[in-house]
Each structure stands twice: as structure tokens, then as C-alpha cells.
Amino acid sequence: MYAVVVTGGKQYKAQIGETLTIEKLDIAAGQEVQFDQVLLINDDTSVTVGTPTIAGATVTGKVVRQDRGPKIIIFKYKPKVRYRRKTGHRQSQTHVLVQGIQNGK
């Protein structure tokens, strides 16, 4: 069984027991989180697709930890004018353990 949820402007496939790495949520580690924007639910017998979301469907999980992703290097360069700029960026992210998928039926 799996569901497709929207959070942080992105879509994620959520399965029970798996950990999702999503955009940062302001929730402390160890607390429960609930996603109510569910686009699709596939239980082994049928597929339910929302228009655009499934009314009443939720995906619940537990925040495992908050951390930052790998460093991305941004390098700007212009030839012949001695222009070089090197900066970096690390995106904040949240790891959520999916615990349950409830259909809106």
C-alpha cells in the first residue's frame, strides 16, 4: 500500500515503514505529523485518484530528525575579466517515518 502526498510544493510516494526526506517542517523530532493533501492511494486491490486531492484521506508519520542535505557548490565565472565567485548552499530537511495511510472512505 502506498500514497502520493504533497508537501513543500513537491510530491512524494509514501509507504508504511519507509522514511521520507522532505522540505523542512517546523516540528520537533519525535512528534507526530499529518499530511492531508493526498493525491493518490493504492491499496493492493484498487487505486483511488483524487480530483485533485482525496477528501478525508490522511498520511500520518513521526518526525525522526531534522538535518541539512549535502553541500551544493555554486561557481560563477566570466572569462577574460578575472571574475570568480564560489559559494555554497545546504538545504534544511526533515526525515519523516510513515506510520499510517487512511483512506477517506
Q: What is the pLDDT of residues 9-60, one digit of tens each?
A: 999 999 999 999 999 999 999 999 999 999 999 988 999 998 899 999 999 9
Q: What is the pTM of this model?
A: 0.85
Q: What is the pLDDT of residues 58-82, one digit of tens each?
A: 999 999 999 999 999 999 999 999 9
Distance (Å, rounded) from C-alpha 90 to C-alpha 73?
9
| Rounded-to-5 percentages of helix, strand, coil across the chain | 0, 65, 35
pLDDT of residue 42: 93
Give 30-53 as a DSSP string: T-EEEE--EEEEEETTEEEE-SSS
pLDDT of residue 101: 94
Domain that holds residue 20: 2-102
Structural domains counted in the chain: 1
